[in-house]
Chain A
């Protein structure tokens, strides 16, 4: 099974970090993973994105032409990548910033009001991990425990930040369960 995920948003929304934490969680489960970031001038103001592929098999190209999952944190990212999302693919959007109606009806749409959700734990930097929580609830890509371990590795010994991100994961999960 190969799953291809594109994560996209403004630079600063934690797009690249979300990708790294996800890819690393898969590797902690002894799966193969690739993470390919956008690293151009487009990082400033425009969209930043990363392509993440998770597979038990060897991975060919790290470039994704048609993702199975798209996580879009802002409207420009949605416009850029939605046409490429596979039929029956999963679209997770940040509905705090994306107010437009999603025209495609052949996909599964999950809306997360990330700004409002992050306000519950008084930290807007956690929107990426809240989205990760939703992804964990919606798919069986990786185990929650692997993501927690991956978060621990990413934030080294900063215990308070690790605890905050655990709360963020739960927020995302709970929101999907309720809606």
Chain B
């Protein structure tokens, strides 16, 4: 592998990164705009002599990942919004069973079938768990093809470290676009815990049990929920990923993630005002401390959904006297530089 730049498609590099990071099992079902990822895995998992399954449905694919993960494999599935909705039951089981896996959602417009344009309208679903029961996923929101590559690798490590499903929350535009990036080797962290819990055949040891049914509230399920919560609190402390640009002494800080954060970068460059960008990379846990510690009084949230991440921004700033404004473009529309400039003008009048 060289350190030279190459031009690659977003969906393809997710697959390349997963294989490089030792993904041992992939199951998926086709849906636009993430098809090139399933296509890539169909070819390259097989070339690497690892199992690839085009399942008969999304429900089936996520449950195959459940099984592969329980057996100790690094497992991944991918889809786009309607398909991710179908996977929610399985994701809830995997979260409840304390199992690691990687789920890629290249978001498209919704609700229902919506359209096939890129969108950010699955933010609530991703960051609030998505399925039934009290649980969380680690959710990462890359904004470039390079980050799709880097964070796909990282997501396998995070999943194994915390025994939790990790979701890459991209969007159709990121998946479809090609961009220059630098490919690199995967380096497995040394301190990842051994999978002593995996169902690998119990000859010579006590059987491992992986389950999500805890019938009695008083001595079983509540205890299980609280144990899960200890994990979630630990992740909240240890993993708050973000990028800031020009936030020092900014008159106004724009909060944006993924594709739209790059439009905001253009706005910052061309604005004659002191505008900063706060870009959450971990969407759960939301980097609330870093956002709260900014001394700015005026925030503008720009998102490709009808006002979802803005709730996390308001929660983070709760109790401060900062004001929070919103530009929300749903349905696969990307907010334009012009409309952001216009809003800034209004806000800094």
Report A's interface with B, CB cutoff 8 A. Answer: 20, 23-24, 26-27, 30-37, 39-40, 59-63, 65
Could you tell me if B265 and A24 are in contact, using CB atoms closer than 8 angstroms?
no
Within the complex, the shortest CB–CB distance from B120 to chain A, in Å, comes to 14
CA distance A36 to B118 in the complex (A): 12
B7 A62 Cβ-Cβ under 8 A: no
Bound state CA distance, A61 and B125, in angstroms?
Answer: 26
Closest A residue to B337 using CB positions: A65
Rounded to whole angstroms, the CA-CA distance of A65 and B117 in the bound complex is 17
Taking CB atoms, residues of chain A closer than 8 Å to B176 are 36-37, 39
- Give the interface centre of B6, B177, B178 by most chain A CB atoms within 10 Å: B178
Cα-based distance from A31 to B179 in the complex (angstroms) = 11
A30, B5: Cβ atoms under 8 Å?
A: yes
Given contacts A62-B177, A62-B262, 19 further A-B contacts (CB under 8 A): A20-B7, A20-B178, A23-B7, A27-B7, A31-B180, A33-B180, A35-B179, A36-B173, A37-B177, A39-B33, A39-B116, A39-B176, A59-B179, A60-B265, A61-B259, A61-B334, A62-B173, A63-B263, A65-B337
Q: Report Cα–Cα, A35/B174, bound state, in Å.
A: 10
The chain A residue sitting closest to B116, CB to CB, is A40
* In the bound complex, CA of A34 to CA of B143 (Å): 13
Give A30 to B180 CA distance when docked, in angstroms: 9
A84 to B59, CA, bound (A): 45
Give CA–CA (A24, B9) in the complex, Å.
11
Q: Are B5 and A32 in contact (CB under 8 A)?
A: yes
Give 17 CB contacts A-B under 8 Å: A20-B7, A27-B5, A31-B180, A32-B180, A33-B7, A34-B177, A34-B178, A35-B7, A35-B177, A35-B178, A36-B176, A39-B33, A59-B262, A61-B262, A61-B266, A61-B337, A62-B262
CB–CB B180/A60 < 8 A: no
Query: Which of chain B's residues have a CB closer than 8 A to the CB of A37?
Result: 176-177
Size of the B side of the interface (Cβ < 8 Å), in residues, is 26
Q: Which B residues are CB-close (under 8 A) to A33?
A: 7, 178-180
Instruction: Check: B289 CB closer than 8 A to any chain A CB.
Output: no
Minimum distance in angstroms from B191 CB to a CB of chain A: 32
Q: How far is the CA of A37 from the CA of B36 in the complex (A)?
A: 14
The verdict on B336 contacting chain A, using a C-beta distance below 8 Å, is yes
Interface centre among A24, A37, A39 (most CB of B within 10 A): A39
Write the residues of chain B forming the contact surface with A, with a CB cutoff of 8 angstroms: 4-7, 32-33, 115-117, 172-173, 176-180, 259, 262-263, 265-266, 269, 334, 336-338
Residues from chain A with Cβ under 8 Å of B338 in the complex: 65
The complex places the Cα of A34 from the Cα of B269 at a distance, in Å, of 18
- The closest CB in chain A to the CB of B334 belongs to A63
Q: Which of A24, A36, A65 is within 8 Å of B177, CB to CB?
A: A36
CA distance A59 to B173 in the complex (A): 15
Question: Within the assembled complex, what's the spacing in Å between the Cα atoms of A62 and B146?
Answer: 14
The CA-CA distance from A37 to B176 in the complex, in Å, is: 7
Query: How long is the Cα–Cα vector from A122 to B117 in the complex, in angstroms?
Result: 38
A118 CB to nearest chain B CB (Å):
26
A29 shortest CB reach to chain B, Å: 9
CB closest chain-B residue, reference A53? B179
Q: How far is the CB of B43 from chain A (nearest CB, A)?
A: 15
Q: 5 smallest A-B Cβ distances: which pairs?
A: A60-B265, A35-B178, A60-B266, A61-B263, A61-B262
Which of chain B's residues have a CB closer than 8 A to the CB of A40? 115-117
How far, in whole Å, are A65 and B336 apart by their CA atoms in the complex? 8
A112 to B229, CA, bound (A): 66
Q: How far is the CA of A117 from the CA of B325 in the complex (A)?
A: 54
User: B4 contacts which of A30, A35, A60, A62 (Cβ < 8 Å)?
Assistant: A30
Q: Given the complex, which residues of A lie within 8 Å of B4, measured CB to CB?
A: 30
The docked-state distance in angstroms from the alpha carbon of A35 to that of B8 is 9
Distance between Cα atoms of A22 and B263 in the complex (Å): 23
User: Shortest Cβ distance from A127 into chain B, in angstroms?
Assistant: 22
Contacts of A59 in B (CB 8 A): 179, 262
Contact of B269 among A31, A32, A60 (CB under 8 A): A60
Question: Which chain A residues border B334 with CB–CB below 8 Å?
Answer: 61, 63
* Nearest A residue (CB) for B265: A60
Chain B residues with Cβ below 8 Å from A36 are 173, 176-177
Min CB gap B224→A, angstroms? 44
A141 shortest CB reach to chain B, Å: 15
Shortest CB–CB separation between residue A81 and chain B, in angstroms?
Answer: 15
